[in-house]
Amino acid sequence: MLHTDDERLWKVARKRAQFKQGLAVYVTVIPLLWGIWYVTIGKRVGLGVTTWPLYATLGWGVGVVFSYLDAYGIFEKSLTEREFERLKAQRDRRG
């Protein structure tokens, strides 16, 4: 069984690997969507209301940003982990 700190590091490593995989898919798929758009509509119409890849780029991009923050930054510990540590500290102070 892994030590508690090792388990936490394993979770962080897994989140970072998932982020990198997701980013690779994003960087591959989004240009393909824009290419499809350009070939089918973009050459004739140009930028405008029919720029549907923009929605995918922005929507998926927001998800990629949150995935990055979860793996590398702001959300280092989950809310559950923080609450558990707070309750554990309260218990330890009582006795």
* 95 residues of the chain, pLDDT tens digit each: 456 778 878 888 999 999 999 999 999 999 999 999 999 887 777 776 678 899 999 999 999 999 998 888 776 666 777 788 888 888 888 86
- Interhelix angle 4-37/53-72, nearest 10 degrees: 170
- d(CA 1, CA 37) in angstroms, rounded, equals 51
Number of other CB atoms surrounding residue 62 within 10 Å: 10
Going from N- to C-terminal start, the domains of the chain cover 17-94
pTM for the model? 0.70
**CB within 8 Å of 68: residues ≥ 6 apart:** 19, 23
